Amino acid sequence: MPYPDITRATQTIHNPADPRHFMRLKPASRKVTISLGDKLIALTNRALRLVEVSNDVYDPAFYIPMDDVTAKLHPVPDRTTHCPLKGDAVYFSVDGWKPADGSDYLAWSYARTFDFAHELQGLVAFNPAHVSVTESP
């Protein structure tokens, strides 16, 4: 759903209720590795890079197919959020992870996406404050 009067960016996905809130999903051009300390969490050649614009331009996030996650993710009980652009998110942790900042999640996924954000279905993103993200050839 293009909004040329809002953005000149092409292939963007806009929030129908507020077209100034939009995202761009683009395949990563390199292999993406996610690590927690020295533990491999995910390795993929199928990552999508998401850049989102709303009240701010948010840091890019990599969304990884669940099949490419090597760590066992555990749902964080009673932790969900709603994004008017993407849908309803659920959150995950891993065994033995105890963050110093009091966070209770390491990753999130959109369990129910809006039809216009369906590309995120089945993908998971990791909190860059707690993991290392590496792109390599």
**Contact assessment for residue 114 and residue 22, using Cβ atoms and an 8 Å cutoff:** no
Q: What is the model's pLDDT at position 99?
A: 80
Quick one: average pLDDT of 98-112? Answer: 89
**What are 49-67's pLDDT values in tens digits?**
999 999 999 999 999 999 9
Residue 128, pLDDT above cutoff 80: yes
Residue 49 lies in a domain: yes
Domain that residue 73 falls in? 13-131
Residue 4 lies in a domain: no
Q: 102 in the Ramachandran plot: left (φ > 0), alpha (ψ -120 to 50) or beta?
A: left
Q: What is the model's pLDDT at position 101?
A: 82
Mean per-residue pLDDT over the chain, rounded: 92
**What are 3-26's pLDDT values in tens digits?**
666 767 778 998 889 888 999 999
For residue 44, give the CATH number of its domain: 2.170.150.40
Bridge partners (DSSP) of residue 49 are 26, 62
Residue 137 lies in a domain: no
